C-alpha cells in the first residue's frame, strides 16, 4: 500500500524519550554477538531511522546511501555516500563500487530496473540483501475471508517495464522482489509489511485515531467493535529486519501483527489519551450512505462483511515463529501520540487521514436521529 515515509521532526532529544527510536530494552537486547557492516539504501525517512538506530544500538556499523537531500541532520556521525538509486541519474550508484558490506537494507526501491541495478552491483560485495516490499504486492491482496500466508501469488502487470509507481506501486514492488532474487539468488530477505505505524509516520492513518481520541468528546467509530484490523509498529518492524541480518534469515515474511478487533485499537486510543472520549459505533451501511470510505476517511478499517476486509487479515505466523515481537497497543498509541503532539500546530491541525471534524459531527447526529425515529 502506498505510503509516504519522508517525514522528520527535529526534536530528537524529546523524541527519544517518547520511544521514537527503539532501545535495547526489548527483544534481542544488548549488543549483537557479531558486529555487521550494514549498507542502508535510504535510511532517513520513516522506517529507515528507526531501523538504523536499532542497528547502532546492537553494535553494528552502518553506512547510508542516499541523495543527501532529506533529514541530513539525523545521523551526522555516520558515513553517507551521496548518489542516486537510478544509475542513469548523475553519478548513480558509482559510490558503491569496490566497497564491502556484510548486508544491505533497501527501503527505497520502487522500480524493478532500479532495484535490479543496485542488487546486481552489490551481488559481489554484499552477503545478504534485505528488500522492504509490501503486502499489497500479492494478487487480489485486499480480498479474502481467511488468514493468507506468504504462499499467495504475486500480482502481475501487462507491462512489467512500466515505471508508473503512482498507478502500479503494489505490483511493481513484486517485480522489485524478483529483480533482487535474480541478482542474488538465495541471499535475499523479502519483507512485506502491512500498514506501518508509530512515531514519525507521515500518513496519519493510525495517528488519526489516537489524535482524535485525544481531542475528547463523542468520537465516531466505524462498523462494529469486532471488525478486524492489523498493522505493524515501525520499531517492531525495524528490529525484526536487523535480526534477519544477524541470523542470516533469507526468507519471505509478512510483517503485521495478527488481526485484532478494531474495538481494541480505539479503546486503547481512548484509554491512553485519557480525555473522557466516548465511542459511537456507526454501522457500515450508514457510513457508506454518508460517503465515508474504508481506507480513505476511515483508515485501518473495512467492513467485515465485505471482501475488502481481506486487506486487514493477513497471517504473520511465519515472522512470529522467526522471532518477530509485538509491543502492546497502548505503547504504540502512547508513543505515536507523544510524537504527534510535538509537531507544529499547523501540522497537527491538518491531519492527512481520517474524518473531517464537521463531517464526523454530521454523521453522528444523523445516526442518533435515525435511532430516535425507530
Residue 3: its pLDDT value, please? 33
3-state secondary structure of 361: helix
Give the domain extent around 159.
Answer: 12-200+229-259
Rounded to whole angstroms, how far apart are CA atoms 206 and 26? 22
CATH number at residue 195: 3.40.50.720
Residue 4: its pLDDT value, please? 33
Residue 71: its pLDDT value, please? 84
Q: What is the DSSP letter of 258?
A: P
Sign of CA dihedral 123, 37, 108, 64: negative
Residue 14: its pLDDT value, please? 36
The grid cell for 317 is 505466523
Residue 49 located in a structural domain: yes
Of the candidates 61, 179, 202, the residue with the CA atom closest to the CA atom of residue 123: 179
| Residue pair 137/101 in contact by the 8 Å Cβ criterion | no
Residue 237 located in a structural domain: yes
| Residue pair 218/251 in contact by the 8 Å Cβ criterion | no
Judging by beta carbons within 10 Å of its beta carbon (0-12, 13-18, 19+), is residue 12 exposed, middle or buried? middle
Residue 173 located in a structural domain: yes
Residue 275 located in a structural domain: no
Residue 239 located in a structural domain: yes
Residue 29: its pLDDT value, please? 59
How many domains is the chain partitioned into structurally? 1
Weakly modelled stretches of the chain, pLDDT under 70: 1-29
Residue 153 located in a structural domain: yes
Residue 96 located in a structural domain: yes
The pTM (predicted TM-score) of the whole model is: 0.92
Q: What share of the chain is helix, strand, coil (3-state, %, to 5)?
A: 35, 15, 45
Residue 54 located in a structural domain: yes
Q: pLDDT tens-digit profile of 350-364?
A: 999 999 999 999 999
Amino acid at each position: 500500500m502506498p505510503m509516504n515515509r519522508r517525514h522528520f521532526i527535529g526534536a530528537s532529544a524529546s523524541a527519544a524519550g517518547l520511544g521514537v527510536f527503539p532501545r535495547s530494552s526489548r527483544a534481542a537486547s544488548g549488543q549483537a554477538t557479531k558486529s555487521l557492516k550494514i549498507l542502508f539504501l535510504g535510511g532517513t525517512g520513516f522506517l529507515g531511522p528507526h531501523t538504523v538506530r536499532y542497528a547502532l544500538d546492537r553494535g553494528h556499523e552502518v553506512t547510508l546511501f542516499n541523495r543527501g537531500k532529506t533529514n541530513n541532520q539525523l545521523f551526522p556521525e555516520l558515513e553517507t555516500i551521496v548518489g542516486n538509486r537510478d544509475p542513469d541519474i548523475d553519478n548513480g550508484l558509482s559510490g558503491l563500487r569496490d566497497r564491502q558490506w556484510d548486508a544491505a537494507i533497501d527501503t527505497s526501491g520502487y522500480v524493478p530496473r532500479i532495484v535490479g541495478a543496485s542488487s546486481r552491483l552489490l551481488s559481489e560485495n554484499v552477503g545478504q540483501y534485505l528488500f522492504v516490499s509490501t503486502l499489497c504486492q500479492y494478487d487480489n491482496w485486499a480480498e479474502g475471508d481467511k488468514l493468507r500466508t506468504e504462499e499467495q501469488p504475486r500480482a502481475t502487470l501487462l507491462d512489467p517495464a512500466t515505471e508508473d509507481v503512482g498507478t502500479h506501486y503494489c505490483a511493481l514492488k513484486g517485480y522489485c522482489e524478483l529483480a533482487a532474487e535474480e541478482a542474488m539468488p538465495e541471499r535475499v530477505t523479502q519483507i512485506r509489511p502491512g500498514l506501518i505505524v508509530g512515531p514519525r509516520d507521515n500518513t496519519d492513518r493510525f495517528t488519526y485515531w489516537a489524535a482524535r481520541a485525544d481531542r475528547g468528546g463523542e468520537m465516531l467509530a466505524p462498523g462494529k467493535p469486532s471488525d478486524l484490523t492489523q498493522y505493524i509498529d515501525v520499531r517492531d518492524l525495524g528490529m525484526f529486519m536487523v535480526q534477519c541480518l544477524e541470523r542470516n534469515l533469507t526468507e519471505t515474511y509478512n510483517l503485521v501483527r495478527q488481526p485484532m478487533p478494531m474495538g481494541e485499537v480505539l479503546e486503547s486510543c481512548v484509554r491512553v489519551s485519557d480525555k473522557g472520549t466516548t465511542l459511537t459505533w456507526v454501522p457500515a451501511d450508514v457510513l457508506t450512505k454518508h460517503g465515508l470510505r474504508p481506507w480513505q476517511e476511515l483508515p485501518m478499517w473495512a467492513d467485515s462483511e465485505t471482501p475488502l476486509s481481506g486487506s486487514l487479515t493477513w497471517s504473520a505466523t511465519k515472522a512470529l515463529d522467526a522471532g518477530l515481537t509485538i509491543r502492546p497497543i497502548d505503547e504504540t498509541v502512547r508513543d505515536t501520540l507523544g510524537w504527534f503532539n510535538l509537531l507544529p500546530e499547523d501540522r497537527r491541525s491538518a491531519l492527512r487521514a481520517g474524518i473531517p471534524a464537521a463531517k464526523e459531527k454530521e454523521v453522528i447526529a444523523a445516526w442518533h436521529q435515525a435511532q430516535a425515529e425507530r
